[in-house]
């Protein structure tokens, strides 16, 4: 059995306890709400672009530690990125969480590699990817995102969504 104990490491526990960019924005050009009907987790992601780049981003919601830490680290990683770069990171994160990313080849994952272990816990993959799916939905001005049914990124690659 894989060592999934590594999942609950200091950096994830810290982001769960003190989430970065937690809250709402007074004005948001892009916004989406994501939910996982299986466990009741829901988060909202709001952001503004300054020219090409994400200028400010915030998230809020009720979720497990894996989801909250993922959202917190996602907002930190996305801030200042262009939409194109952000989309690349979304793809890489989803690939990593589902065990399809070769971490030894060049990538932009960086500190987000702490979530690599989640691919060994199929029931928890959705917790980690919900914020990213919601961010993708926000970019596309889709009002709600879900980890279920046709919107399920486990079933439909997000690039085809």
Contacting residues toward another protein, per CB under 8 A? 1, 4-5, 7-8, 13, 16, 38-41, 62-66, 121, 124, 127
Nearest approach, Cβ of residue 19 and another protein (Å): 13
Q: Which residue has the tokens 């490491």?
A: 9
**Helix, strand, or coil (residue 150):** helix
- Sequence-ordered strand ranges (E) for 10-159: 30-36, 41-50, 53-62, 144-146
Strand partners, 50: 53
Give the residue with the Cβ less far from another protein, 65 or 76.
65
Give the residue with the Cβ less far from another protein, 70 or 91.
70
Nearest approach, Cβ of residue 68 and another protein (Å): 8
Nearest approach, Cβ of residue 11 and another protein (Å): 13
**Are residues 152 and 129 in contact, defined by beta-carbon separation less than 8 angstroms?**
no
Give the residue with the Cβ less far from another protein, 41 or 92.
41
Q: Pick the closest to residue 133 from 152, 116, 119 (CA basis).
A: 152
């Amino acid at each position: 059995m894989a060592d999934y104990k590594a999942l609950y490491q200091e950096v994830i526990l810290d982001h769960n306890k003190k989430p970065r960019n937690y809250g709402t924005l007074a004005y948001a050009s892009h916004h989406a709400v994501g939910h996982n009907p299986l466990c009741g987790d829901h988060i909202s992601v709001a952001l503004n672009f300054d020219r090409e780049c994400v200028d400010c981003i915030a998230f809020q919601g009720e979720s497990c530690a894996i989801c909250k830490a993922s959202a917190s680290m996602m907002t930190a990683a996305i801030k200042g990125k262009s939409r194109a770069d952000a989309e690349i990171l979304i793809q890489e994160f989803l690939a990593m969480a589902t065990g399809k990313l070769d971490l030894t080849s060049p990538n932009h994952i960086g500190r987000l590699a702490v979530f690599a272990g989640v691919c060994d816990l199929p029931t928890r993959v959705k917790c980690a990817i919900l914020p990213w799916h919601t961010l993708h939905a926000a970019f596309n001005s889709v009002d709600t995102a879900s980890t279920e049914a046709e919107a399920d990124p486990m079933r439909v690659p997000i690039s085809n969504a």
